[in-house]
Structure 1
């Protein structure tokens, strides 16, 4: 009987010897190579991968279950931490669902700011995808370029929300606070600088012989395979399918913005790289249009029973309730005090019903199905995260290829395990 070497321990006790020697190995969970805590179980013959399986669950947070024990507004603090590289998409999808159940529309200024932040977030996410993907394939300079540019975008996020990640800035009914002038000025500087920086990244990688050797015709997944597996985002568009929810099912007024949906026909790792570069350019166009549309006005619905928190101002000691609001609830209006206490302690009440809302995240269709029983907390919230769905493509992309190409294939999918193990 030929020898069989199993490095996976008792997990794979069901593996039976066959007519040839084979090795079953674990790749990950580790950084780099497997994008964090993704475990890949690979069966190899020499340097050829004959079978690939994904092992998930190493970053389990129970966010969806936790949402059932928090009020609707507090839920934003949880969902922003799922796909931690695109928090504004998590927040917006969640809040759009709550707002549809409530039957309300947020002010125009709040919607424009949401679009602006999501498109900046798309750029920052794609920069991380290319930076980490480059590092994993040995292009450390790409890592430097990607994170250098991402810092400029995080500076905008910090100026707007006070945080560089996990913002909880988008709230049901609008935003936590207005978009300050400092953040707007940083966006304008970013628009002047970023096109040049993206061009430098292209000069580094697009015609680089080593980069092309590691990505061209690697991790192939054609149109039929994408559709069969439910793949969305850059992986789908690299196979020639121009599907983008911003065009197909517009939300947040995307139908009023001018932008293109880049596609390629190569259906490989290199095509996905090109898609992300072009998408960053299109996002810059949208951000510029957002600045033109940004008009003074409220950023939360004019309904004291839904707007929470109320009347925030920035003082010497930081962000807090305005003195006028505190004076009213503490000195002149018992009704306002009672309402303020209830909205802070219990949260808003959402009519019974269920809804599904989807947005186009940097990795594809991010959908949220939420159910309300009419109370102050969600009855059930479930996210359709594109990282989870797209990981199905790992086996198709890797089996029959070389062991080293597994790294390139997984990097081209760009999974974020926080969205997988939610």
Structure 2
């Protein structure tokens, strides 16, 4: 991003008045161009994000994201707290997929402690079950708010209604609806409540016809297709160069998913496919493909959930002597090392880098590799030459969450 400068101009023909830091000097704009600030509070910018858009009439010349408005301070918190006490702050990164973040953080600390292979299978399957349910909930918000961004109100209400069932199950399990602190280092906060598996199967049976309705109402809708096909095309080489991951990358045609590439937890034991964009409605890597991939991933997550439930109710039945706290370390003090651990969150590759000195129970350095940060960085590249109205469609298709961008 270019160096920001503060510019103040009085109104004059051919000049633009501005009074806040911008990446572009208004005095150097070509004739007919202007700076248009979108956000940081406009709903279509998905929270505290300001887009500095250079326009020539209705055509976008460039778009620069300014992200410093939320100040989550995650890394500073993580470097001042013991590893287990940092989990509530992990929840607040991608607060729409908190279970996924907790799972990856716990795996990283367990790997440093050398206990990753000792986690009981029941705990691993419960972790994956929760992560995949949370992936569905995250995609529901992504698709619902996207439809809202481009003018469709009903899909948002339907998806929030169905997501409410998920939130109630999460509250049943952890006591919280969004920020769970459920997956702990070495175990879980608690075992699944009695009757949870049966309720979860009922939800899966309920959701399948709803997903078909969603495809018909949104993804296959003629108006939705015309609004998103051939818009915001992200070529695969550009996606790779910018570090895009998750549905944004897979929408461009690359079958890259860390659940398969790294094969962590019990994912190698489960059967599921990796959906990719194929240009079915327009061009590979357009806004339609990215949303299509998310809907298909909901189907695959349901497959994973059913397989986890099968194992949890047959081979890994609940027993009285099962203790989800059995491997919780009394003191977390890893050896001196540098380590990077990653996993497939709902929005892409979420990774944590740890540097430890072997003497303290807090990391010397903690760095978060946030998928939304990389996915957002490509917006200037794929929005050039498009209409202003299409910029909202492009931004929404990236499915960013500001909690893990301004850390």
- The TM-score normalised by the length of structure 1 is 0.87
Secondary structure of 2:276's counterpart equals: coil
Residue in structure 2 matched with residue 30 of structure 1 by the alignment = 41
2:38–2:53: 8 Å Cα contact kept in structure 1? yes
Q: Provide the residue aligned with 2:281 in structure 1.
A: none
Separation in structure 2 between the aligned mates of residue 219 and residue 56 of structure 1, nearest angstrom? 21
**Other-structure match for 2:352:** 368
- Matched with 1:300 is 324
Aligned to 2:180: 167
Q: Check the 8 A contact 2:351/2:370 in 1, yes or no.
A: yes
2:114 to 92, 99, 103: 103
Q: Is the 8 A contact 2:51 2:64 kept in 1?
A: yes
Structure 1 residue 63: Cα displacement: 1.3
> Which residue of structure 2 aligns with residue 227 of structure 1?
240
Displacement, 1:299? 5.1
Larger Rg: 1
The residue that corresponds to 1:391 in the other structure is: 376
Greater Cα offset, 255-264 or 2-11: 2-11
Contact 1:219 1:398 in 2 (8 A): yes
Secondary structure (helix, strand or coil) at the match of 2:44 reads: coil
Q: Find the aligned partners of 1:299 and 1:125 in 2 and give their Cα distance.
A: 30
Distance 1:299 1:152 in 2: 27
Deviations 1:308-350 (A, max 9, x none): xxxxxxxxxxxxxxxxxxxxxxxxxxxxxxxxxxx4xxx4322
CA distance in 1, matches of 2:40, 2:152: 21
CA offset at residue 371 of structure 1? 1.7
Change (3 A) 1:141 1:77: same
Number of the residue aligned with 1:200: 213
Shift of 1:49: 0.5
Name the CA shift for 1:288/1:8 in 2 (closer, same or farther; >3 Å).
farther
Q: Give the match for residue 291 of structure 2.
A: 273
Where does residue 15 of structure 2 map in the other structure? 4
**Aligned twin of 1:355:** 339
2:19 and 2:36 mapped to 1: Cα distance?
A: 6
- Structure 1 gaps of 5+ residues are 308-342
Q: Look up the SS of the partner of 2:62 in the other structure.
A: strand
1:378 to 335, 338, 363: 363
CA offsets, 1:271-326, max 9 Å, x none? 111100100000000000000111135353635xx44xxxxxxxxxxxxxxxxxxx
- 1:88, 1:124 → 2: CA distance? 11
Q: Distance in 1 between matches of 2:24 and 2:380?
A: 21
In structure 2, the residue matched to 1:131 is 144
Q: 8 Å contact 1:245–1:365 — kept in the other structure?
A: yes
